Amino acid sequence: MQPNGCLSLTCSRAAAYQRGESPLDDVFRALADPGRRRLLDSLNERNGQTLRELTDCLDMARQSVSKHLAILEEANLVTTVRRGREKYHYLNAAPISEIAQRWIGQYHQQRVDALSDLKRALEGTAMDKPQFVYTTYIRTSPKQLWQALTEPAFTTRYWGGMALESDWQTGSVFTVTLADGTRIADPDQVVVEADPYRRLAYTWHTFTPEWAAHYKFSEEDRAAWASEPRSTVTFDIEDQGSLCKLTVLHGGFEAGSGVLAGITEGWPRVMADLKTLLETGDVPAG
């Protein structure tokens, strides 16, 4: 069950959006507390910890850790994934990316470097549970967000010209068409789960020689990525009134996965462009 403070902060985030305020105020307040920074440091060292694990490794009472985590979750610096009775906590790069994009040009270079280091730490943390988790809040409806995830007219705009095409039924194959017209399809490139406006999951796409040539990957890197077991990406959509909470979970990797390293750098940019597209109707160039 969520702490009351967590519920009230969720409501305040939606209210702040409606008033035109920045939800990043919660991020700055969360980062101001040394105890919460210690929790982030602990997750940076070992991502995907339970409340018990975090309590054991820090000199804090369980209740204090729980309260701090609730604030970090509502600031979107930490996101959680449930497996059975356990809830695992992960660093989330979304708010740091937003801070960097909005203010990075206005600060002294030393502060810029500090932000960049933190952003890289959040996006590139070594994980003992090899998967990637990312949560963002978008001012849109579940229907519009679903369309943005499944309709080529949207995906081409925030995926850099890449179209995803399918009937989006569970078990259906989907096709990836690159900006140069190259089509990538495979019998194992399929929709795993499709619950419109709530959840979409599919196996990650096929790394062909044409794909590598388009994105200028070496044949050595392509072959290494292609030799890995297929991973699965899941999009969870939660309707929060004027906002949608979108959580991206990309898992199924082996230790030392090259694909995991690649998508960890790629997903934050793709999700930032998706958010910008849905909230402003445009995606920044470059």
Q: Is CATH 3.20.20.60 what the domain over 137-280 is classified as, yes or no?
A: no
Q: What are phi and psi of 45, to 5 degrees?
A: -75, -40
What's the CATH architecture for 4-127?
Orthogonal Bundle (1.10)
Residue 264 to residue 249: CA distance in whole angstroms: 11
CA dihedral 196, 249, 176, 190 (to 10 degrees): -70
One digit per residue, pLDDT tens: the chain, 286 residues?
333 434 444 455 555 555 555 667 788 888 888 888 888 888 888 888 899 999 988 888 899 999 999 999 888 888 888 878 888 898 887 777 666 666 555 554 444 455 455 555 454 444 445 588 888 899 999 999 999 999 999 999 999 899 999 999 999 999 999 999 999 999 999 999 999 999 999 999 899 999 999 999 999 999 999 999 999 999 999 999 999 999 999 998 988 899 998 888 889 889 989 999 999 998 766 5
pLDDT score recorded for residue 274: 95
Residue 256: Cβ within 10 Å count: 10
Residue 103 to residue 235: CA distance in whole angstroms: 28
Going from N- to C-terminal start, the domains of the chain cover 4-127, 137-280
pLDDT score recorded for residue 167: 96
pTM (2 d.p.): 0.69
On whether the CB atoms of residues 133 and 252 are closer than 8 A, the answer is: no
Residue with tokens 């309590």: 55
Residue 108: Cβ within 10 Å count: 8
On whether the CB atoms of residues 139 and 17 are closer than 8 A, the answer is: yes
